[in-house]
Amino acid sequence: MHELSIAMSIVDMAQEEAERRNVRIDAVHLELGPLSGVVADALLISYEAASSGTRLEGSKLVIKEVPIEVYCPVCDAQRTLSSMQWFCCPECGTPTADVIHGKELAIIALEVRDECRTAPVGST
Amino acid sequence: MSAEPRLLEVRKNVLKQNDMVARSLRERFRERGIYVVSLVSSPGAGKTAFLERTLTLLRPQFRVAALVGDLATDNDAIRLARTQAPVKQITTGTLCHLEASMVEEELSGWDVGDLDFLFIENVGNLVCPSSYDLGENLRLVLLSVTEGEDKPLKYPTIFNSADVAVITKIDLAQAVEYDEDTLRMNIQAVRPGMRQFAVSAKTGAGMQECLQFLSDRHAELAQKTQV
């Protein structure tokens, strides 16, 4: 269960970005691959705990799960796997360990609002 | 009230900090000609026994040292110290995995002289360690014949993040009706082309082949470093 420390990193990184741009964050969009070793549900629960008491309290974590994509040397093409238990080209059946996507664990977007002038929070 | 919401596109790898530390460790190891091997497995798969045997067998020829991660005890480090190799314990407290910064911290001020091999034994866990690069050259995933042949299918991520599979406790194969073909097939299903070794740290069976593989990798690194 390392999702809590991952969630804390997400909160820290988003908070830093919010402070730098002087915005309030409504939601953090995250790209998550099945090979990242992070479980989406556990991360969502951890995010709530990690964000509470910070400037991100009440914000949402929106997880976009990306599929595993591999390179098939026989088809010379990028293929999407339907199972992480079977690393074979879905078209021709050739085994391949050449992973192109699926390890992602990245913040890709922030839903933000400009900080309101009438209610400055820690503004400088 | 607040202004209109808008979407801000960013691209930030959540594990960037760890990856940066791992990269700088890898560079440092490379410059010093140290081949770094990490070990991951579930608790009780036999990482420490394998390492004990490995350190003992490599020591006459190579300068070896080990960092061992554990939640609470230094039992493993005490066990491994019997091999006469320099060993240091990383006690993680409640943390279920090692991170690159812990390796960096433990290495600073640890005067072990020149090394050929550094082994890093992760905390026994088949889930969390898969996400963290430790700056190693080679990640071994160990699983014992007692764990069930479907283990790779249950934990595909860690097998995918590893380079080599080491099947341990083969001295118990018969007693647990171990099915070698099924396990090999399952490993290949989640990580096609993965190199596999079958060993018994207790009897020493299969150890030489595995250690030959490691010394070949070390020789390759040494050659690259000299160029």
pLDDT digits (tens, 9 = 90+) for B39-78: 999 999 999 999 999 999 999 999 999 999 988 888 888 8
Q: What is the pLDDT of residue B92?
A: 83
Q: Tokens for B203?
A: 């009897």
CB contact under 8 A, B6 and A97: no
- Is A69 in the B-facing interface, judged by CB distances under 8 Å? no
Q: Which of A56, A57, A66, A59 is nearest to A105 (CA)?
A: A66
In the sheet with A77-80, reading across from the earlier edge strand, the strands are A77-80, A69-72, A99-101
Q: Which of B140, B119, B129, B117 is nearest to B195 (CA)?
A: B140
Question: In this structure, are residues B175 and A79 in contact, taking their beta carbons and an 8 Å threshold?
Answer: no
State pLDDT tens for residues A52-66. 999 999 999 999 999
- One-letter identity of residue A61: L
pLDDT at A119 over 80: no
Question: In this structure, are residues B39 and B121 in contact, taking their beta carbons and an 8 Å threshold?
Answer: yes
| Separation of alpha carbons A58 and B121, rounded Å | 39
Q: Which of B27, B58, B32, B45 is nearest to B213 (CA)?
A: B58
B78 sits in which H/E element: helix B75-81
Q: What is the pLDDT of residue A118?
A: 55
B96 contacts in chain A (CB < 8 Å): 1-2
Question: In this structure, are residues A47 and A11 in contact, taking their beta carbons and an 8 Å threshold?
Answer: yes
B161 contacts in chain A (CB < 8 Å): 35, 37
Share the mean pLDDT of chain B.
94
Q: What is the pLDDT of residue B224?
A: 82
Can you tell me the mean pLDDT for B70-96? 87
Q: How confident is the model at residue A3 (pLDDT cuts 50, 70, 90)?
A: very high
Choice between B223 and A90, residue whose per-residue pLDDT is larger: A90
Spell out the domains of chain B, with CATH numbers in brackets.
16-226 (3.40.50.300)
pLDDT at A71 over 80: yes
Share the mean pLDDT of chain A.
92
Distances (CA, A) of B182 to A79, B169, B221: 26, 17, 34
By mean pLDDT, which of A22-26, A51-55, B93-97, B162-166 is the weakest? Answer: B93-97
pTM of the model: 0.91
CB contact under 8 A, A13 and B14: yes
Strand, helix or coil for residue B168: strand
pLDDT at B86 over 70: yes
- Is A4 in the B-facing interface, judged by CB distances under 8 Å? no
CB contact under 8 A, A107 and B193: no
- Identify the contact set of chain B against chain A, taking CB-CB distances under 8 A: 1-15, 17, 95-97, 127-128, 130-131, 153, 156-158, 160-161, 188-194
Can you tell me the mean pLDDT for A35-45? 95
**A72 conformational bin, left if phi > 0, alpha if psi -120 to 50, beta if neither:** beta
| Separation of alpha carbons B99 and B97, rounded Å | 7
Q: How confident is the model at residue A120 (pLDDT cuts 50, 70, 90)?
A: low
pLDDT over 90 percentage in chain B? 81
Q: Which of B152, B150, B158, B149 is nearest to B127 (CA)?
A: B158
pLDDT at B2 over 60: no
pLDDT at B212 over 70: yes
- Is A42 in the B-facing interface, judged by CB distances under 8 Å? no
* Burial (CB count within 10 angstroms: exposed 0-12, middle 13-18, buried 19+), residue B74: middle
A1 contacts in chain B (CB < 8 Å): 96, 127-128
Q: What is the pLDDT of residue B70?
A: 84
pLDDT at B3 over 80: no
A105 contacts in chain B (CB < 8 Å): 13-15, 131
Q: What is the pLDDT of residue B227?
A: 60
pLDDT at A89 over 70: yes
State pLDDT tens for residues B115-156. 999 999 999 999 999 999 999 999 999 999 999 999 999 999
Q: Tokens for B215?
A: 């010394």
Q: Tokens for A11?
A: 């909160």
pLDDT over 70 percentage in chain B? 99
pLDDT at A117 over 70: no
Helices B47-58 and B207-226 pack at an angle, to 10 degrees, of 60
pLDDT at B225 over 80: no
pLDDT over 70 percentage in chain A? 92
CB contact under 8 A, B157 and A34: yes
DSSP lists the bridge partners of residue B195 as B164
Can you tell me the mean pLDDT for A2-31? 95
What's the topology of domain A3-66+101-114?
hypothetical protein PF0899 fold (3.30.2320)
A26 contacts in chain B (CB < 8 Å): 5
CB contact under 8 A, B14 and A9: yes
pLDDT at A124 over 60: no
Instruction: Find the CB nearest B131 among A10, A26, A38.
Output: A38
Q: Which of B57, B60, B32 is nearest to B135 (CA)?
A: B32
Integer-rounded Cα radius of gyration of chain B: 19
